[in-house]
Amino acid sequence: MWEDIMERSKIYEEMEQMLGLVPSMFKSIPDASLELEWSLFKTIQLEGGSLDGKQRELIGLGISAVTKCRYCVYFHTVMAKLNGATDDEIQEAIHYAKATAGWSAYVNGMQLDFEEFTKEIDAVCAHVREMNMQN
């Protein structure tokens, strides 16, 4: 197992090439986990998939705002701007996250019937689809 783990120095070299430095958050990760954590970070934060960088960062910002992580809020705000997000888009993402968290607290706290809720949402979607087809 240990033979398969990249040496810390090689991982740090790659970080420096990609990021310009080795972020301190990676320096405290144990040797046995560093390669996995760096690989996951690169895949999720830097390479992405079907969402573009701005979309990913706005989602990350909304989640960070709701979880109240100031480190994550800062990271995702500056990364969103780096990926082209405007101040209005940042504000909208945070407001959307706030509204979603509020409704989540309410419907869960009220213990609404989940089956009834899903039927209602499905009916709303069917109505909107039909309205869109008429236009």
Q: What is the pTM of this model?
A: 0.83
Q: Hey, what domains does the chain have and what are their CATH numbers?
A: 1-47 (no CATH), 50-135 (1.20.1290.10)
Would you call 21 helix, strand, or coil by DSSP?
coil
pLDDT digits (tens, 9 = 90+) for 55-107: 999 999 999 999 999 999 999 999 999 999 999 999 999 999 999 999 999 99
Which residues lie closer than 8 Å to 7 by C-beta, 6 or more apart?
none
Q: How far apart are CA 2 and CA 135, in angstroms?
A: 62
CB of 29 within 8 A of CB of 36?
no
Given a contact cutoff of 8 angstroms between Cβ atoms, the answer to whether 90 and 60 are in contact is: no
More confident residue, 84 or 44: 84
CA 11, chain centre distance (Å): 24
Q: Which residues contact 63 (CB under 8 A, 6 or more apart)?
A: 72, 97
Calculate the average pLDDT of the chain: 93
